[in-house]
Amino acid sequence: MKLEINHRKKSGKPPKTWRLKNTLLKNKWANRNIRKEIKKIMETKESENTTIQTLWDVAKPVLRGKYIALQAYFKKLEKVQVQNLTVHLKEQEREQQEHPKPSRRREIRKIRAEINNIETKETVEQINETKSCLLEKINKNCQTIDKPLARLLKKKKESTQTD
């Protein structure tokens, strides 16, 4: 019997780093859940010896996990909603072909508008995420450019002061 573990090769893309979405912060239901979680942490870890820093160190990973779970939950809800709308749209289109009605045509337009609305929200989020990534990369590059410039300026300043 032979067991080989190949941990050096990773197939596919590297895992995407998680980022907190602003839409999640605006959701009242998600905020209530997070507040409950914070209260739980405060109740379980509350004692005279516990420092604020310790509480914060405990709360950070717990809240991050909670936000990740909530974000996944909302993403699944959105997918299910789009699937249900597309199924309903196909049914309405099939019925419209068999027995055309103006009211059904209006219903089809409403369903398409809802699907488009959900898809545009996703694309706006992706665009905002891309913008923030680009800005971060630009800022990092600026810092790498600024350091050598700062050194040169410092040397010139020192040389002019000694002369």
Confidence of residue 132 (pLDDT cuts 50, 70, 90): confident
Determine the average pLDDT of the residues in 11-16. 65
pLDDT at residue 143 tops 60: no
Tell me which residue has tokens 């789009």. Answer: 82
Angle between helices 102-162 and 52-98 (to 10 degrees): 140
- The alpha helices in 17-101, defined as continuous H runs, are 22-26, 28-45, 52-98
What one-character DSSP code corresponds to residue 21? Answer: -
Q: Supply 30's token pair.
A: 């998600």
pLDDT at residue 65 tops 80: yes
State residue 14's pLDDT score. Answer: 63
Confidence of residue 70 (pLDDT cuts 50, 70, 90): very high
Mean pLDDT of the chain: 82
Determine the average pLDDT of the residues in 143-163. 72
Distance CA 31, CA 137 (A): 31
φ, ψ (nearest 5 deg) of residue 11: -90, 145
Instruction: State CA 101 to chain mean position distance.
Output: 42
Q: In terms of pLDDT, which residue wins out, 62 or 162? A: 62
Q: Are 85 and 107 in contact (CB under 8 A)?
A: no
Distance CA 53, CA 69 (A): 25
Q: Which of 96, 128, 98 is nearest to 112 (CA)?
A: 96
Q: In terms of pLDDT, which residue wins out, 6 or 20? A: 20
pLDDT at residue 108 tops 70: yes
State residue 73's pLDDT score. Answer: 93
pLDDT at residue 86 tops 90: yes
Q: In terms of pLDDT, which residue wins out, 113 or 16? A: 113
Segments making up each domain of the chain, as ranges: 22-130
Distance CA 114, CA 55 (A): 43
pLDDT at residue 6 tops 70: no
